[in-house]
Amino acid sequence: MAGFRLRDEFDIDGLLVRLTQAALDEIKREQPSASPELQKNQDFRG
C-alpha cells in the first residue's frame, strides 16, 4: 500500500489479527450476551 509503512516487527497480517482481536474483546466487554456467537466464529476461524 503506497505511503503506508509498519514498524519492522509488524506486518499487515499481524496488524489485522491484532485489530480483529481487539474489536472482538471490546464487543465481549460491551455485549456479554454476544460472547457465545463470537466464540463460535473464533473457533471456526482457527
pLDDT tens, residue by residue, 19-29 = 988 988 888 88
pLDDT of residue 6: 62
- Distance of alpha carbon 13 from alpha carbon 29, whole angstroms: 24
C-alpha cell of 11? Answer: 506486518
pTM for the whole thing? 0.54
- Distance of alpha carbon 32 from alpha carbon 7, whole angstroms: 34
Summarised one tens digit per residue, pLDDT across range 28-38 is 888 877 667 66
42 pLDDT higher than 80:
no
Residues 6 or more apart whose CB falls under 8 angstroms from that of 13 comprise none
CA 13 from chain center: how many Å?
10
DSSP character at residue 17 = H
